[in-house]
A and B are shown apart, each in its own frame.
Chain A
Amino acid sequence: MSAGEPLLEARNLVKEFTTNTGGVLSGKKRAFRAVDDVSFAVGRARTVAVVGESGSGKSTTARMVARLMPADGGSVLLDGEDVTHGTGAALKHFRSQVQVVFQDPFSSLNPRHTVDRIITAPLDYQGMGVPGGKRQLVKGLMERVGLNPDHSGRYPSQFSGGQAQRIGIARALAVKPKLLICDEAVSALDVSVQAQVINLFKSLQAEDGYSIIFIAHDLAVVRQIAHDVVVMNRGAVVESGTRDEIFDNPTQPYTRSLLAAIPTINPEWEARRRVNEQRERAALT
């Protein structure tokens, strides 16, 4: 990973859930380790993808790092400071630096609030003043994420899925966070819209320099956005490294099987399509 002190470090994170064995009434309980000793670091202005199949513990890990769920063990360090158990002012400060973008834009945006109110909500919670006024900030943010600023008085239901996800991104960026945690943030989107949102994350990152923890199950998407990759399976880290290390030289059989299972288009057809398109473009000029 990148040189220098990382922005965020997750150290030996553990999460246990208790399950009833032998029926609800038997009273027998068993601890199930959803996340087991997970460690990774996120460099400044880097994107770390945490990938895995359902049940791998990737979302639980993200929730613990985002302080949306208490950890049962281990610690989270932001800028070298332990933020695992902070409350009150410390937690508030943490939230001004770490923001989350969720998978389903419609269930994570209040349907009864206008875009204006949704985007400024984190500022209100933080009690942050805005130089130049909130209205100006909202318009600026909407423009940056590719929404029409004149639509700030509209409600979430008046937007398409891709547009609603942009509202979620604008909200996350309102407090100028150092770290964005994206939990399957493009999984629910159509492939064309997905491409737009991935490009948006990348271009905004280039401007603002924030880091991203990108939780995803789609490795092809991850390859387009991540600098570093952490592969999880059954609650534990299987393998981690730079994007090219993981995709070009995976050392673990699990990572290899995951990569091999991705459906791909016949490379011959792909090559022919590109040749055809190049030829046409050449003919046009």
Chain B
Amino acid sequence: MNRTESKARDDGGALLEVRGLTVTFGTPRGDVDVVRDLSFTVDRRQTLGIVGESGSGKSMTSLAVMGLLPKGATASGSIRLDGVEILGKSDAALRKLRGNSMAMVFQDPLSSLNPYYTVGLQITEAYRAHHNVSRKAARAVAIEALDRVRIKDPHLRIDHYPHQFSGGMRQRIMIAIALCCEPDLVIADEPTTALDVTVQAQILELMADLQAETGTGMIFITHDLAVVSQVAQDVVVMNGGVQVEAGSTEQIFSAPQHDYTRALLAAIPRLDDDLEELKMVGDFRTGATR
């Protein structure tokens, strides 16, 4: 794929600017905020890591940005993509943005791919949704997309079904689908969590290479602090729907300011250290001193 011209104006402004994002679920017992007053920015060529444990609101944040919140959830605040407010846009307008300007890579590639269709068809489907091209031209794009995510023999593999690929290969295909329209922003939600460590290392390397090639901005959502320390330039730590701490990756990992971040870092099982007892985040929650 020749990247002719970036769809986004590269005027130095932030690619994505989220201000005061609040996601609320209406329940019979009243409204519940699963994300409260969250603000962050993502620049081009940069990766923002969002880390948190389950229930911290990290995935809801990504769904709000994509305009994919489940029924019953409402978002308020401001989400500006390339200077344009996208919160509150119509479904049709959002559909035009999704895939084209922003794309998502999910955790489980097997449930995100349709088992009945060849991978080639699924890539071209994404491409043709935004480009008025012939099947043949789209197929050429799909072959190139597979080649770009380092799948061998792409002209043969394009006619294979998802089950004929390994877990790591399937995630490569998901990345190929996400990148085929050359989006400005990619949101990766736990993209390597379901993968073996050796495969995870390969996928992380691939994502870094592709980002260097295309200059996309990325939000990388994960519960794994070690992974985020390797991929992100900036990090937001979330707990219970709110931002606990934010800063450059180096800052967060070398001089965490908040007790929750510290407890989280102390709870990671280490390879280089014998801890008599792993420190517990629970100590922080109950207010006991460590």
Task: Enumerate A204-234 residues with CB–CB distance to B below 8 Å.
Answer: 217-221, 223-224
A192 touches B198 (CB 8 A): no
Contact of B271 among A191, A192, A219, A257 (CB under 8 A): A219
B267 touches A264 (CB 8 A): no
Query: Which of A30-38, A96-104, A195-203 lies on the face that meets chain B?
Result: A195-203
Quick one: which of B13-38 are within 8 Å of A by CB?
A: none
Contact of A272 (CB < 8 Å), options: B54, B255, B272: B255
Alpha-carbon gap, A217 to B199, bound state (A): 13
Number of interface residues of B (CB under 8 A): 39
Tell me if B224 counts as interface (CB < 8 A to partner A).
yes
In whole angstroms, what is the CA distance A196 to B279 when docked? 8
Number of residue pairs A-B, CB distance < 8 angstroms: 114
Verify B267–A272 contact, CB threshold 8 A: no
Cβ–Cβ contact A223 & B270, under 8 A: yes
Q: Does A5 contact B (CB under 8 A)?
A: no
The contact of B269 among A161, A193, A198, A277, by CB within 8 Å, is: A198
Q: Bound state CA distance, A192 and B280, in angstroms? A: 6
Interface of B is mostly: helix
Specify which of B167, B224, B253, B263 is in contact with A263 (CB 8 Å cutoff).
Answer: B224
Q: Interface size bucket, A side?
A: 35 or more
CA distance A206 to B267 in the complex (A): 21
Contacts of B93 in A (CB 8 A): none
Please state if A220 and B196 are interface contacts (CB–CB under 8 Å).
Answer: no
Instruction: Mark out the residues of chain A between 134 and 181 whose CB falls within 8 Å of any chain B CB in the assembled complex.
Output: 161
Q: Chain B: which residue is nearest A284 at the CB level?
A: B289
Inter-subunit contact A190/B54 (CB<8 Å): yes
Specify which of B223, B227, B250, B272 is in contact with A190 (CB 8 Å cutoff): B223
A247 lies within 8 A of B196 (CB): no
- Assembly CA distance A265 to B270 (angstroms): 10
Q: A54-B196, A192-B263, A273-B265 are in contact. Are A265 and B225 (CB under 8 A)?
A: yes
B129 within 8 A of A: no
Q: Which residues of A contact B54 (CB under 8 A)?
A: 161, 190
Contacts of B263 in A (CB 8 A): 192
Chain B positions 137-186 with a Cβ under 8 Å from a chain A Cβ: 167
B217-262 CB contacts (< 8 Å) to partner A = 223-227, 229-230, 250, 253-256, 262
Does residue B118 face the partner (Cβ distance < 8 Å to A)? no
Evaluate contact between B198 and A261: CB separation under 8 angstroms. Answer: yes
A263 and B265: CB pair below 8 A?
no
Contact check, B253 vs A269: say whether CB atoms are below 8 A apart: yes
- Chain A residues near B196: list those with CB within 8 A: 53-54, 217
Q: 5 other contacts beyond A193-B53, A217-B197, A269-B229, with CB at 8 A cut-off?
A: A194-B267, A223-B270, A258-B197, A263-B230, A265-B225
Interfacial residues, chain B to chain A (CB-CB below 8 A): 53-54, 167, 196-201, 204, 223-227, 229-230, 250, 253-256, 262-265, 267-272, 275, 277-282
